[in-house]
Structure 1
């Protein structure tokens, strides 16, 4: 019969039973759902990264790596797989497109960072590629990805082709979230990625090597961190050894190539000098021949003239002799008769001989003159040929000199190249080797922060849900036991033991708690992770389905707490009744003595109230236990609502506060060399056309030492001039702080809160060389992103004994935004264009644009909105259940009173007003109390929701206060509406029943 009455009790008070079950389900569901969410998220991500063989180390070197280096690193004992990769940023356009965009090209790797094919297939030929599935709105398979011609030569030289056929779309574990990285090209932002077959790159080296360890632990776990800590030094040493070998090999090959070039130059130069000497000798001979010929002509001309003159003189003499001989013959002919035969013969013979001789001489002279004429013609011809010969000589000489000049130019160029090669070899530095773990990957680091926020909320909120659930259970069961004290007395009189009687009520509350715990645990272990995973799915590219966690120990703890809250409260309520004898229990409790409430002692107010309001106020303040229970329950719900709304207020604008009010510069530059005054001047001149203002500062990572605690923070050392134009150091009261002087420091509020530091305290900073600085805190500034300590350069010099290296600059890329902090699209385009130009300048190693961090954290906050919405909805459901349960209890307790006023002629509306007026008053009082409690609870929650990356701004907007109160009243009105029908069903005959 006892069991039957127990089940009858459940059936007759089903609303109360369901209320306990719902409140426990909500408390357990909220606790377990949030608690397993991070575990589910991390397990899913861990499985995905394990399946995709996500790298454990990314190794880079300024000189690149070879296949031998990959083999050497893969032979490390702790390494399961190593893969060399080639990557380069390039401008591209899609087939048919007109706008150049930026893509990060990678080579497909095996064994590490395996790709998931969304559609199509992976590239197999040197002119094929697979692209980022987010890169194109439409299916791109079969289209071409065209490399733009305006890429720099080094980029084009790395690629085999200028057009790549798209064979598929892929998801890469390297790109876990929506961010695709920054670049020196275009507007500074990478639009997407593409993977080529290794043959698609025209390089004989790898730009990076990815390593995967042979021990696989869950991500973000201490075991994983331990294995990274244990292997990092060995991996770094191996990487440095490979880099050093490559460095020595490149130096050796460069020197050998230089020696070959020098040897070839010497041989060619010697041959050139010999050929030049021969050519100059031939030209000299030719010129000498010309000069000799010219002299010979002059000599021959003179000789010819002399001979001609002599011949002409001789001819004249011969002709004179012929004339004389002719006269002598005439005289001979005339004197012949007077001469003897002998004289005639002798004279005739003498004349004949003379005439023959003269004729012969004349002929000889005339022959000589003919020879002279021929010689003169030859000389004239030689004189005519002489200018041509000189011209030929001049042309040959000019050609030879041109050849000599060309050869000299080539040899000069060769000498310059050899000199430059020597300088390049001399300037080749030992390579910088970078061993990066997974935390260097933006998506991996961000996912830990995002999941940590969820876990932080799970550590705080469920406590209050359980407290309110315990309160509701205690109130419900106390009221139930009080109502049934007569039955308890009857059962004790009939001989039932205390344990048997308590078992009825323990089963009632325990079964409700058990069922509620099971419903809440198993449903919310699915719902909460699913909702939050969908929210984060907007940012992350995890293709794996969510891995749902059923945490058995967590379930057991939740069940134990649920049973403790419900059955413990029941046991306490029963125990107070069991101390009385049955005769006392069978009779109802004597009503409390009537007392005047405080308002009755103020006639000025009390006398102005109507009778019904006086009754309501007496009922509210006379029954202090009920009043306390209502105020605590409803104010707790209001506090939870305010905390959820305030959580969003504190989170949503931290990035805007950081980059609109504190770090007001556009981007920061990291240099690879110490920027001396000369380098700063040269850089400022070169960057003047794309920047508005630049401030050079020292920025480094140091350890903040407070007692036994050590924290890595970012230290900025500046001279202080113009610093407030780039970073506003403001305290919590929005007052501007002066830049610290020598041996002083200003640190951010999060560090001060975490380590209990305040104004006037001393702090110790230790740099990477182990040198320490002791500084006095003169200011605590507001800061929301990262952790900073600001000191003066004089402090650095005095305490460390050296000048700080200036390897950082803060930049205003364009005129400052509007007074309200609005960033126009045009201005942001200008900022990214400026950062892209600066990234391509000498000594610039990296550029960090504030807008990228703003977008990253902003998107993280958007996903957190889903978590906050869950908190608000759960708080709202909790408020509804509490109000419903407490109102139900109130009506049940006063059923005879309500029946009586109905008998007295109250209309249904008047009856409901009579009862619900008290609820409204109590709701108003509770809401006001809840606002104060919510403000405290919000501060407590924000203190416990900690992320190393961010410091949240603890503030609640006036709208959140209004919404918290308004929602509380909305729930109260809904409950009143639901309970109206219960009032209407109360029978008036109840008031006529005898208590006995």
Structure 2
């Protein structure tokens, strides 16, 4: 028995060595399938785990509360008494540098939102400052230099030495720092300094972190629900605190007014000082802003990116792996069928079915174990780490956290075993059911049949003999035809899907900004602004051609037991002008006009609420709820939006401009920010840059899809061609003996491959479009819709790559056919 096993074991290794190309091809196909399946499905969790680990290490707050009224120790104690929260008071204000850059300046935190030092150290004195790492990369600040903070309202100019650069868990996106109420309306970078540098009597920010909140679920709905409940619990307390400060302010105004009335007119200087103090006190607008992570620059976009990758990973790698498994199953099946003669000899020598089958089971198991092990290691360790390293250029998380996705790995192992060991078990069982004599006889060749092309006699007569044989052979070997077409169609479909996802995600931003929003800037004002004066000043600007006043507010919309929050409701008085600023069309492309009554809402929102034109929705504005008819559904790709006629207070101005350079747009933004009452200016080019940055975040993953799909396509073509040659070795040797030249023998095989490649490519277009559409649907978020946008370049690259792979395989086939041992192949199997 031991000797028997030894002989069979040597035979196993001899089979591997003699057909090393086939063994490596099977291992490589399994490896690629597992690599993409495990690796890509691990990228989304790795992105989240890296962010969660860093955020928890720096103790990122769950809520940030900002108020110009300030916060006292009593306010802090009152919130902490509510239970289950840690509260830190922080001094914070927006300032400008001497060169005009807007800076979010914080007192150096120690308990929450702690800085992550990149270089240097923290500030130790009132003459030192730590800058955002973005200040070094974008604005070229260096350690040891000084930064000059300009004099602004209530802030004295200062000159501070730069002693360090840092990241902040509040600003995870390296490309954006949020909006500002001064300068050009955007924050350039943040900074940390000692408390005295900020020149504030009280803290203006509260950092709140829930002690019983699951911070490991930072990007999950569970965490969002927990924070929402905490916000609802603390908001009434914060409102009471604000009301107390407003009451105190009113009392102070009353006291100063009385004092001014009692002061004699002859007291000129005291009256002037008292008047100035009174004016300053009245000008204070005590407002309260409660922020969650969704309000932090880039935070929700980061989570959406991870979710989109996970959504894509639930479809693309699965399809990829199915193609790989199908080809592997076919290869193992053909390998066993080729060994019919050996199986018969072994049975005739007295070997049991189990002993004979053992070799093929071990062969299949060995390919599965090698391919799966390599795929799991590379897929789990290197692929997510590689993508995360690319993402460090856009995000602050420089230490990848990789946790093995054991559920995904288990599925990969099962698929790999089914496609290898499963195939070996099924086929060897079928083969060993017959006797030794039958096995030692070669299988009867398949007979040729009349094909459809022969019915067109005029066409059939134009073909040469070799062409007729090739076309008949296509139908003669049906299983090879089906597998080759499936392999090519699947490979090209995967390639086209990779390019299609890239093009479609890019089209989201360009269609939203260029096709739907036809204005160039949006100006937001405070509630106290003189709207007529703002409109007049904007129209007088030399770079403005048209201005549309409107009321913009965030509302909640309900219908069919569904709810959409933070919907941007835009109300205009002059509906005829709206079409010049917003191009509203149906999803079919028909133009929409704003009706006298009812709203036009975005397509994604209508889908979430399950409503259509003519239905009614409930719109909650503040504490009031109104029933509004849906007058139309418009194409919209980013955000939830509604348009309607209305007379609400104006707080937004859409601005049309001629084509301006980026520098000219920035100059306009600075001029607009100087208009009294203007709170913020948003440029469409900045929105496009933001959306473009969002789409670029997926480029590394898409590139991996394309590279691995191309590699799989090449291996599949090579494997299927090898199977074709090995099955028809006697046939090919026969025609060589008959005098066919090497190039004619190659053409005999390649002519069939060309036809199958063309058919596979055509079918692959349909597979690619269907797969891309399905993936885009899965990758949609509540805020973003991805249109199916397959560009000619995607088709060209996919087709070109597939034809290139076919050419490579043709060359390899030609080389192999030149070295066929005709005599050995033609030996009779008697």
TM-score (norm 1): 0.77
Aligned runs of 1:975-986 on 2, under 5 Å?
975-986=809-820
How far the C-alpha of 1:562 sits from its partner, in A, is 1.4
Q: Distance in 1 between matches of 2:33 and 2:97?
A: 54
1:682 aligns to what? 533
Q: Distance in 2 between matches of 1:115 and 1:901?
A: 76
How far the C-alpha of 1:409 sits from its partner, in A, is 5.0
**CA separation of 1:808 and 1:498: change in aligned 2, threshold 3 A:** farther
2:551 aligns to what? 698
- Of 644, 653, 662, 2:516 maps to 662
2:381 aligns to what? 526
- Of 867, 870, 873, 2:701 maps to 867
1:363 aligns to what? none
Q: SS at 2:135's partner residue?
A: coil
How far the C-alpha of 1:469 sits from its partner, in A, is 1.3
Select between 237-246 and 36-45 the one with higher mean Cα deviation: 237-246
| 1:851-880 Cα shifts (integer Å, max 9, x gaps) | 332222211212211111111111101101
Q: Kindly indicate whether residue 592 of structure 2 is the aligned counterpart of residue 737 of structure 1.
A: yes
**CA separation of 1:746 and 1:507: change in aligned 2, threshold 3 A:** farther
Q: Distance in 2 between matches of 1:599 and 1:827?
A: 67
How far the C-alpha of 1:259 sits from its partner, in A, is 5.7
- Of 584, 606, 610, 2:438 maps to 584
Q: Kindly indicate whether residue 182 of structure 2 is the aligned counterpart of residue 185 of structure 1.
A: yes
Structure with bigger helix share is: 1
- Of 618, 628, 631, 2:482 maps to 628
Q: Distance in 1 between matches of 2:642 and 2:472?
A: 60
Q: Kindly indicate whether residue 289 of structure 2 is the aligned counterpart of residue 434 of structure 1.
A: yes
**CA separation of 1:414 and 1:262: change in aligned 2, threshold 3 A:** farther
How far the C-alpha of 1:479 sits from its partner, in A, is 1.2
Q: Distance in 2 between matches of 1:594 and 1:887?
A: 20
How far the C-alpha of 1:904 sits from its partner, in A, is 2.1
Aligned runs of 1:407-422 on 2, under 5 Å?
407=266, 413=272
8 A contact 2:172–2:299 mirrored in 1: yes
Select between 765-774 and 522-531 the one with higher mean Cα deviation: 765-774
2:4 aligns to what? none
**CA separation of 1:882 and 1:755: change in aligned 2, threshold 3 A:** farther
Q: SS at 1:653's partner residue?
A: helix
Q: Distance in 1 between matches of 2:668 and 2:383?
A: 40
How far the C-alpha of 1:461 sits from its partner, in A, is 0.3
How far the C-alpha of 1:583 sits from its partner, in A, is 4.1
How far the C-alpha of 1:654 sits from its partner, in A, is 2.1
1:811 aligns to what? 655
Q: SS at 1:702's partner residue?
A: strand
8 A contact 2:89–2:204 mirrored in 1: no
How far the C-alpha of 1:957 sits from its partner, in A, is 0.9
Q: SS at 1:722's partner residue?
A: helix
1:897 aligns to what? 731
Q: SS at 1:446's partner residue?
A: helix
- Of 197, 207, 219, 2:204 maps to 207
Q: Kindly indicate whether residue 168 of structure 2 is the aligned counterpart of residue 172 of structure 1.
A: yes
8 A contact 1:103–1:193 mirrored in 2: yes
Q: Distance in 2 between matches of 1:897 and 1:212?
A: 76
Aligned runs of 1:547-566 on 2, under 5 Å?
547-566=401-420
- Of 301, 308, 311, 1:453 maps to 308
Aligned residues: 815
8 A contact 1:665–1:727 mirrored in 2: yes
- Of 833, 847, 866, 2:670 maps to 833
Compare CA radii of gyration and give the structure with the larger one: 1
How far the C-alpha of 1:251 sits from its partner, in A, is 4.2
Q: Distance in 1 between matches of 2:617 and 2:85?
A: 41
How far the C-alpha of 1:414 sits from its partner, in A, is 7.3
Q: Kindly indicate whether residue 745 of structure 2 is the aligned counterpart of residue 911 of structure 1.
A: yes
Select between 132-141 and 944-953 the one with higher mean Cα deviation: 132-141
Q: Distance in 1 between matches of 2:313 and 2:461?
A: 51
| 1:367-415 Cα shifts (integer Å, max 9, x gaps) | xxxxxxxxxxxxxxxxxxxxxxxxxxxxxxxxxxxxxxx9375587578
8 A contact 2:531–2:650 mirrored in 1: no
Q: SS at 1:574's partner residue?
A: helix
Q: Distance in 1 between matches of 2:587 and 2:146?
A: 56
**CA separation of 1:244 and 1:111: change in aligned 2, threshold 3 A:** same
- Of 7, 10, 13, 2:16 maps to 10
How far the C-alpha of 1:673 sits from its partner, in A, is 2.7
**CA separation of 1:752 and 1:489: change in aligned 2, threshold 3 A:** farther
**CA separation of 1:525 and 1:416: change in aligned 2, threshold 3 A:** closer
**CA separation of 1:428 and 1:181: change in aligned 2, threshold 3 A:** closer
8 A contact 2:94–2:102 mirrored in 1: no
Aligned runs of 1:408-807 on 2, under 5 Å?
413=272, 431-493=286-348, 496-542=351-397, 544-673=398-527, 679-690=530-541, 691-712=544-565, 713-719=567-573, 720-743=575-598, 745-753=599-607, 757-759=611-613, 763-769=617-623, 771-778=625-632, 780-793=633-646, 804-807=648-651
8 A contact 1:716–1:789 mirrored in 2: yes
8 A contact 2:551–2:572 mirrored in 1: yes
How far the C-alpha of 1:64 sits from its partner, in A, is 2.2
8 A contact 2:33–2:375 mirrored in 1: yes
| 1:664-685 Cα shifts (integer Å, max 9, x gaps) | 222333444388xxx5323322
Q: Distance in 2 between matches of 1:586 and 1:652?
A: 60
How far the C-alpha of 1:641 sits from its partner, in A, is 0.7
8 A contact 2:474–2:752 mirrored in 1: yes
Select between 901-910 and 884-893 the one with higher mean Cα deviation: 901-910
How far the C-alpha of 1:494 sits from its partner, in A, is 5.0
How far the C-alpha of 1:887 sits from its partner, in A, is 0.8
1:987 aligns to what? 821
1:140 aligns to what? 142
Q: Distance in 1 between matches of 2:613 and 2:439?
A: 65
Select between 895-904 and 803-812 the one with higher mean Cα deviation: 803-812
8 A contact 1:674–1:807 mirrored in 2: no
How far the C-alpha of 1:989 sits from its partner, in A, is 0.5
1:853 aligns to what? 687
How far the C-alpha of 1:221 sits from its partner, in A, is 2.7
8 A contact 1:641–1:872 mirrored in 2: yes
Q: Distance in 1 between matches of 2:479 and 2:149?
A: 78
Q: Distance in 1 between matches of 2:795 and 2:822?
A: 42
Q: Distance in 2 between matches of 1:847 and 1:921?
A: 59
2:240 aligns to what? 241
- Of 23, 26, 33, 1:20 maps to 26
8 A contact 2:178–2:186 mirrored in 1: yes
Q: Distance in 2 between matches of 1:578 and 1:70?
A: 81
1:118 aligns to what? 118
Q: Distance in 1 between matches of 2:269 and 2:399?
A: 67
Q: SS at 2:576's partner residue?
A: coil
- Which segments of 5 or more consecutive residues in structure 1 lack a partner in the other structure? 94-99, 270-405, 794-802, 818-822
Q: Distance in 1 between matches of 2:804 and 2:591?
A: 44
How far the C-alpha of 1:960 sits from its partner, in A, is 1.4
Q: Distance in 2 between matches of 1:496 and 1:529?
A: 48
Select between 966-975 and 571-580 the one with higher mean Cα deviation: 571-580
| 1:880-927 Cα shifts (integer Å, max 9, x gaps) | 111011011111111111222222223322222222222122111211
- Which segments of 5 or more consecutive residues in structure 2 lack a partner in the other structure? 1-6
8 A contact 2:604–2:640 mirrored in 1: yes
**CA separation of 1:762 and 1:591: change in aligned 2, threshold 3 A:** farther
How far the C-alpha of 1:503 sits from its partner, in A, is 3.7
Q: Distance in 1 between matches of 2:20 and 2:107?
A: 66
TM-score (norm 2): 0.92
- Of 655, 661, 685, 1:824 maps to 661
Q: Distance in 2 between matches of 1:410 and 1:545?
A: 62
| 1:160-214 Cα shifts (integer Å, max 9, x gaps) | x521122222222222112122324333333222222101122202221212222
8 A contact 2:117–2:166 mirrored in 1: yes
**CA separation of 1:754 and 1:546: change in aligned 2, threshold 3 A:** same
How far the C-alpha of 1:438 sits from its partner, in A, is 1.4
